[in-house]
């Protein structure tokens, strides 16, 4: 990292410390609001209090994502559905009826906020952030400020702290900012309960979309059978009946009718095969996704280049969803994009299946305009899949389909050393943070003569505060290390499942 990058990272750490200090103030205000709500009964204070806390933690999540590269998802439980009126127009809450939905909706929202663990985890994060992640990220600036204070009092030892910050900033500042992101990710990320609740809500919405899509697909198949193959089969039957009547009186005419019936049967067979391919292509069932995509590329009028790197067969529903997604994307490239060439890459990324389709069309693809992309998104959503489209006007268009947990993977070896180090960090991080850090600092502030077993209080005066701060930083680093190793181990296990 160059000098400008180092300075920028140090300033970001200082900003994170400032945000943590502001979060401490917000936590104090929120604590007052919570006490007023629960002890005095000023329930209306609780709603703006939670909004204030969540606005502050959203800022921390955004900074952790933008500066530390740690994507922290929203951890909150889905909001309750609005109250539904009874047949008479009243709204019920327990045994009480209300004319308007305001009171039942307020009670539901109160229960939603109080029972959501993320509400209290947000408040806890704001309370401890300045003493853990903020102090860790802002340590170089704190050392410079400490040295300036000591130099202002004529203590030349103060020169050592800015020099230490200058020497270590190159490697410490980026690590500290990343550690802050991991700390925020551990405390502000969604819990398993919130993640499951969001999945249930998404699955409910997806199920509705899938049911609607299946109903529309069944109507399409019924219409195609009724208007196509069925009509042709009826016509064939009528033609054969006419040939039977003419076979004795006019054999030539009967023969012509039979030839016509044979041609009609061939046309009906082609339509049935096309309909079957639209339901589930035989090549997909027999040869798998890779060969099915290659066959699809041969049928398209585009010059298609296909690359397939898959470890083996996937589950049939996943292969079907991926196949029809590629089919729709190629059809869009031909019909709406005016493309002449396309490239298709099908590969496995860990346990995820990723398909990239790029064409040289005129671009401008938009799912809201009904170009078939909405149907692809609905089909993929049934498997937690996503579709990302980049299609600037003028092209090219790149569509990326990703299906998580689609590719089976072998179980990785157990990370025993991670478990041991994480256990040590989790078990011992409180020693430098609290007894040797915060408690020793409190003893020094109040001027107590008792030094007990606090290491910093036995040192010369100019070294006491740096040692106290160093202990807090050490304990915070151990805490972040334990969080990081635990998160990495959990991710490996989750990918395994």
> What percentage of the chain reaches a pLDDT higher than 90?
8
Strands of the 386-390 sheet, one edge to the other: 303-309, 341-349, 352-359, 397-403, 386-390
Mention every residue, 6+ apart, whose C-beta is less than 8 A from residue 375. 213, 328
pLDDT tens-digit readout, 298-311: 888 888 889 888 88
pLDDT of 412: 45
Length of the chain: 497
pLDDT of 22: 93
Instruction: State if pTM tops 0.75.
Output: no
* Alpha-carbon span 228 to 236, nearest angstrom: 12
Average pLDDT over residues 56-79: 86
Cα–Cα nearest to 353, from 305, 312, 412: 312
Residues 421 and 485: beta-carbon distance below 8 Å: yes
Report residue 212 as tokens: 């609607």
pLDDT of 48: 92
Q: How confident is the model at residue 58 (pLDDT cuts 50, 70, 90)?
A: very high
Half-sphere exposure of 79 (CA within 13 A, CB side): 8
Average model confidence (pLDDT) across the chain: 80
pLDDT beyond 90 at 484: no
Mention every residue, 6+ apart, whose C-beta is less than 8 A from residue 193. 77, 117
* Alpha-carbon span 364 to 396, nearest angstrom: 9
pLDDT tens-digit readout, 197-223: 767 766 666 666 666 666 666 676 677
Q: How confident is the model at residue 29 (pLDDT cuts 50, 70, 90)?
A: very high
* Alpha-carbon span 437 to 474, nearest angstrom: 9
pLDDT beyond 90 at 52: yes
Q: How far apart are the first and last CA of the chain?
A: 38
Question: Of all helices (H) and strands (E), which one includes residue 279?
Answer: helix 251-279
Burial per residue of 208-229, b for 16 or more beta-carbon CB atoms within 10 angstroms, e otherwise = ebeeeeeeeeeeeeeebeeebb
pLDDT tens-digit readout, 385-429: 888 888 888 878 888 999 888 877 644 444 456 667 776 776 677
Cα–Cα distance list, 179 to 172, 175, 438, 473 (Å): 10, 6, 20, 11
């Amino acid at each position: 990292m160059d000098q400008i990058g180092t300075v920028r990272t140090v300033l970001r750490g200082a900003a994170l410390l400032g945000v943590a200090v502001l979060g401490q103030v917000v936590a104090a205000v929120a604590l007052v609001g919570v006490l007023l709500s629960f002890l005095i009964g000023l329930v209306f204070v609780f709603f703006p209090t939670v909004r204030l806390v969540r606005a502050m933690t959203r800022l921390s999540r955004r900074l952790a994502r933008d500066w530390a590269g740690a994507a922290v998802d929203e951890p909150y439980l889905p909001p309750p559905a609005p109250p539904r009126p009874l047949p008479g127009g009243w709204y019920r809450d327990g045994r009480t009826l209300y004319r308007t939905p305001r009171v039942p909706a307020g009670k539901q929202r109160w229960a939603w906020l109080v029972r959501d663990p993320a509400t209290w985890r947000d408040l806890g994060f704001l309370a401890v952030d300045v003493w853990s992640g903020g102090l860790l990220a802002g340590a170089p600036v704190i050392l410079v400020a400490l040295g300036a204070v000591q130099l202002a009092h004529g203590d030349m030892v103060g020169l050592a702290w800015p020099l230490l910050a200058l020497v270590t900033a190159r490697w410490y500042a980026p690590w500290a900012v990343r550690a802050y992101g991991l700390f925020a990710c551990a405390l502000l990320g969604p819990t398993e309960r919130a993640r499951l609740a969001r999945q249930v809500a998404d699955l409910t919405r997806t199920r509705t979309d899938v049911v609607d899509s299946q109903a529309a697909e069944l109507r399409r198949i019924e219409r195609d059978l009724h208007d196509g193959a069925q009509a042709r089969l009826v016509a064939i039957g009528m033609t054969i009946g006419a040939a039977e009547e003419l076979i004795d009186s006019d054999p030539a005419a009967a023969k012509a009718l039979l030839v016509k019936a044979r041609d009609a049967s061939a046309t009906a067979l082609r339509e049935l095969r096309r309909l079957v391919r639209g339901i589930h292509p035989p090549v997909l069932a027999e040869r798998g996704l890779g060969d099915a995509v290659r066959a699809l590329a041969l049928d398209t009028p585009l010059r298609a280049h296909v690359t397939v790197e898959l470890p083996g067969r996937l589950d049939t529903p996943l292969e079907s969803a991926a196949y029809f997604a590629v089919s729709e994307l190629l059809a869009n490239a031909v019909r709406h994009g005016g493309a002449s060439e396309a490239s298709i890459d099908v590969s496995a990324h860990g346990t995820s299946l990723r398909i990239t389709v790029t064409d040289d069309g005129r671009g401008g693809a938009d799912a809201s305009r009904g170009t078939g992309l909405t149907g692809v998104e609905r089909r993929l959503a049934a498997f937690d899949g996503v579709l990302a489209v980049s299609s600037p006007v003028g092209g090219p268009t790149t569509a990326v389909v990703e299906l998580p947990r689609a590719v089976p993977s072998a179980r990785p070896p157990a990370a025993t050393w991670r478990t041991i180090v994480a256990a040590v960090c989790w078990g011992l991080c409180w020693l430098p943070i609290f007894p040797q850090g915060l408690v020793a600092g409190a003893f020094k502030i109040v001027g107590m003569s008792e030094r007990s077993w606090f290491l910093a209080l036995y040192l010369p005066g100019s070294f006491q505060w740096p040692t106290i701060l160093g202990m807090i930083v050490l304990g915070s680093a151990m805490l972040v290390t334990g969080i990081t190793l635990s998160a990495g181990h959990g991710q490996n296990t989750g990918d395994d499942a």
